[in-house]
Structure 1
Amino acid sequence: MAQQHLDPTDSMAVTADALAGYLRAQATEFLRALRSHRETGGGGGGTPARAQPRAAEAGTEDSTAAALALRRSARRISGTLHTFRPLLDADWSESLRPELAWLSGTLGREHAYAARLDRLVTALNRLSGATPFPSQATKSSSATGSSQSALPARSASASASASAVGGRSTAAASAVGSRSAGAERVGTAEPGTAGPGNRPAATPDRGNLTVGAAKAGALLDRQLTLARTRAHSAALQALGSSRFHAVADSVAVLASEVPLTPTAPTTDLRPLAAAAHDRLCDAITGLPLHTAGHPYNAEALIHGLSPDTAPHPQDAPWHQVRLLLRLHRYALEVLHPGAVPVDVRLLTAGEALNRHRDASEAASAAASAARTPRIAPATAYALGVLHADQRHEVEASRFAFQQSWQKETVSTP
């Protein structure tokens, strides 16, 4: 795309000073988050847990927040270098961008695994018939109906899956919520809930499904907790590596000096930001929005029984749109350093795409757990229902995105 040079009479032109100021600000945030992460011990290790448990827990939370702030700044710097790369030194920006992407991905995995586990256990509780009111668990005649009323709108196949597991007892939901590995805890009631004597005895088939749901929750807990622990170790190792120190040194230089090209001071930033918006619109045009505009279209369930362990190929274009939407938002932050104008359509579209990503990855985790060798049929069944539920969430997110994107942009200054 041809660069548009500044017109002295154009009062709306945005100069390279805005780009340099944005990059310096993000680099400063990066260094501040790095200092905070080091001060908290990089994992709450600064205070002995036995001596000061609350202080250690607070230190862990501060360290996690600092790591997320590091990732947030790295993402913004990398995205800005991509959008405005014609105005920056090519060798410098092309060498720094992949390193920032590596750092952002490494720091984000631990949080992603924790959020994925929470999402799956919550969904498993819901599908197991968990209700917020203990009195509902005592009414066997309304157990199935109350479980289905807690679900969002689903297709006929989703309703059938929910009704198959909707009448399980509250005790089973409590066992799944606490991620208990022992099937013997399934029949016990949590404090404050109706006791076993107030509930009718479960049928053998339903009891097997209850045990399957509990074991599915325990299996997901083991797998995702292990993955989270490994991601945490990988993040700590990355933050102590020479590769990270090289990235931090480059960002430290960026905080004081932005390597612009000789023509950058006379170039308007708006065409480059508009190009980022055009790439977003082109990618959205390639999405099957017509199909997504019809609820219960079951598009997200296609190839659900494929033996391929890779993520659904149909999800990739939606993930790409989410990435381009983020780049567009960063470009707006450069053009409006004070405050980005509120665009309701972009906000709702971004939220829908975030839910789409989360549900897609959660479904993949459920499918991966279901491939565990020698698991009980009831456990595999519960994981299959969970996988279908998350794929329906994918479909619902696509529908929400289509509905929000078709609306006119509503902005307030």
Structure 2
Amino acid sequence: MAQQHLDPTDPLAGPAPTGDALAGYLRAQATDFLRALRLHRETGSGANGAEASVEAARALRRSARRISASLHTFQSLLDSDWCEGMRPELAWVSGTLAMEHAYTSRLDRLLTALHRLSGSDRAAGAHADVAAGARADLAAGARADSAAGARADLAAGSRAAGAARVGAAAPRDAGLRHPPTQAQERGNLTVGAAKAGALLDRQLTLARTRAHSTALQALGSSRFHAIADKVAVLASEVPLTPAAATADLRPLATAAKDRLTDAVAALPLVTAGHPYNAAALIHGLSPDTVPHPQDAPWHQVRLLLRLHRYAREAVSGPKGNSVVDLRLLSAGQALNRHRDASEAAAAAAQAARTPRIAPATAYALGVLHADQRHEVEAARFAFQQAWQKEAVSTR
């Protein structure tokens, strides 16, 4: 009889992990949370935030997510009331601390895309100088238009950029009364890109500053202190049920994987298998600020994939972070890019709704919006490729 070899990277193989493994994992994450909290307090929290403080906040979010995910997946092995009280609080901590980083990354992403689209040879890190110069232009007051006209220019920019990328999906001058030439399109984009960058810089920097203040207030609140106290108790005492001592963690981890698999099965992976999904792009180029309905299922898959990854770590015990599935990491990174591009496109559309902005500015924001919706489709294609590789490898 041929000998069967277990996959050393598969935590669902080997001896059955029990509640002791879950307790060890939760204690380790709670210890990491407390260590990150101490580092955050020691490094201070100025208006700009030191690099060590930013890293400490990231570590806090990472530990909070893992504890919350474990409480969700393995709730039947833990005290139910305690889980129900802790999960929303940990989600509040993670979400509050994530906002500042999200606005910073979104601004960098949009300004880098503007430089690329306008043909600028400046590096993304030099966007502060561009924004400062553009603010002077804004202060001088360029020719303004009504909000309705700005929306029309946003839609024109979206259609023009979308048609250029999709190709035969739609004529390049679709919806335009006077179709611009390629040189005119480039000129409009060059003129509006700097002012669009200044507008985005002003809006997202303000949002980032507010998020930073909100995070500082949250970390100093009695609500957060109560959460930290509970996490400190968790670092030494995990509220397991009596049955957890002999319970196998693998069925619960498998259930998390099945939920992910079912959610992925509902996605249009066949359509996402094409690098440029013309049908989705035509619908996705709408300048509406509401979240795009096509994005929600993909965001849900991203959350379920994270739960699956953390369940694998918990099953592996306190050192679960050492067991890494590169295929899952690739799929998760693609879904992270999908979320970032989707939110960046919404931010560009929202900026174009600023009252009385110049038509060239709205046009540049429309091109930027279309570019980010193309990035959404590219991320879906990357996820489809990573997931299909995983499906083949597990057969």
Instruction: Bin the TM-score by the shorter chain.
Output: 0.7 to 0.9
The answer to whether structure 1 residue 233 and structure 2 residue 223 are counterparts is no
Range with greater deviation from structure 2 (63-72 or 301-310): 301-310
Shift of 1:175: 6.1
Q: Deviations over 1:129-180 (max 9, x none)?
A: 02379xxxxxxxxxxxxxxxxxxxxxxxxxxxxxxxxxxxxxx999647674
The answer to whether structure 1 residue 33 and structure 2 residue 36 are counterparts is yes
Cα gap change, 1:342 to 1:68, in 2 (>3 Å): closer
Q: Deviations over 1:6-31 (max 9, x none)?
A: xxxx9611011110001011111111
Counterpart AA for 1:118: D
Range with greater deviation from structure 2 (66-75 or 226-235): 66-75
- What's 1:273 paired with? 253
Is the CA contact (8 Å cut-off) linking 2:73 and 2:256 kept in structure 1? yes
Determine the C-alpha separation between the residues in 2 that align with 1:206 and 1:348. Answer: 35
Determine the C-alpha separation between the residues in 2 that align with 1:230 and 1:238. Answer: 12
Cα gap change, 1:24 to 1:206, in 2 (>3 Å): closer
Counterpart AA for 1:44: G
Cα gap change, 1:173 to 1:232, in 2 (>3 Å): closer
Shift of 1:327: 0.7
Cα gap change, 1:304 to 1:11, in 2 (>3 Å): closer
- What's 1:20 paired with? 23
Determine the C-alpha separation between the residues in 2 that align with 1:204 and 1:11. Answer: 65
Equivalenced residue count is 335
Is the CA contact (8 Å cut-off) linking 1:130 and 1:173 kept in structure 2? no
Other structure's SS at 2:237 match: coil
The answer to whether structure 1 residue 400 and structure 2 residue 355 are counterparts is no
Cα gap change, 1:129 to 1:369, in 2 (>3 Å): same
Cα gap change, 1:307 to 1:366, in 2 (>3 Å): closer
Shift of 1:278: 0.4
The answer to whether structure 1 residue 261 and structure 2 residue 215 are counterparts is no
Other structure's SS at 2:121 match: coil
Cα gap change, 1:113 to 1:91, in 2 (>3 Å): same
Alignment of 1:293-372 (within 5 A): 293-304=273-284, 306=286, 308-337=288-317, 338-339=319-320, 340-372=322-354
Is the CA contact (8 Å cut-off) linking 2:335 and 2:383 kept in structure 1? yes
Is the CA contact (8 Å cut-off) linking 2:73 and 2:253 kept in structure 1? yes
Shift of 1:306: 4.4
> What is the root-mean-square deviation in Å for CA atoms of aligned residues?
2.6
Cα gap change, 1:211 to 1:181, in 2 (>3 Å): farther
Aligned counterpart in structure 1 of residue 81 of structure 2, from 87, 91, 102: 91
Cα gap change, 1:17 to 1:121, in 2 (>3 Å): same
Higher relative contact order (Cα pairs below 8 Å, separated by 6+ residues): 2
Is the CA contact (8 Å cut-off) linking 2:285 and 2:373 kept in structure 1? no
- What's 1:181 paired with? 135
Shift of 1:182: 2.8
The answer to whether structure 1 residue 108 and structure 2 residue 90 are counterparts is no
Aligned counterpart in structure 1 of residue 201 of structure 2, from 213, 217, 221: 221
The answer to whether structure 1 residue 379 and structure 2 residue 361 are counterparts is yes
Shift of 1:127: 0.1
Q: Deviations over 1:79-118 (max 9, x none)?
A: 0100100000000011100000011000000000000000
- What's 1:82 paired with? 72
Counterpart AA for 1:80: S
Cα gap change, 1:299 to 1:318, in 2 (>3 Å): farther
Other structure's SS at 1:260 match: coil
- What's 1:138 paired with? none
Cα gap change, 1:108 to 1:408, in 2 (>3 Å): closer
Alignment of 1:108-187 (within 5 A): 108-131=98-121, 176=130, 180-183=134-137
Determine the C-alpha separation between the residues in 2 that align with 1:65 and 1:341. Answer: 23
- What's 1:194 paired with? none
Counterpart AA for 1:35: R
Determine the C-alpha separation between the residues in 2 that align with 1:301 and 1:410. Answer: 29
Determine the C-alpha separation between the residues in 2 that align with 1:184 and 1:361. Answer: 25
Other structure's SS at 2:294 match: helix
Determine the C-alpha separation between the residues in 2 that align with 1:205 and 1:321. Answer: 37
Determine the C-alpha separation between the residues in 2 that align with 1:287 and 1:392. Answer: 18
TM-score of the superposed pair, with normalisation by structure 2: 0.79
Range with greater deviation from structure 2 (16-25 or 173-182): 173-182
Identity among equivalent pairs (%): 76
Q: Deviations over 1:296-343 (max 9, x none)?
A: 212442434546421101101101111111111111111223354442
Shift of 1:62: 1.3
Determine the C-alpha separation between the residues in 1 that align with 2:130 and 2:367. Answer: 15
Structure 2 unmatched ranges of 5 or more: 1-12, 140-182
Determine the C-alpha separation between the residues in 2 that align with 1:184 and 1:408. Answer: 50
Counterpart AA for 2:35: R
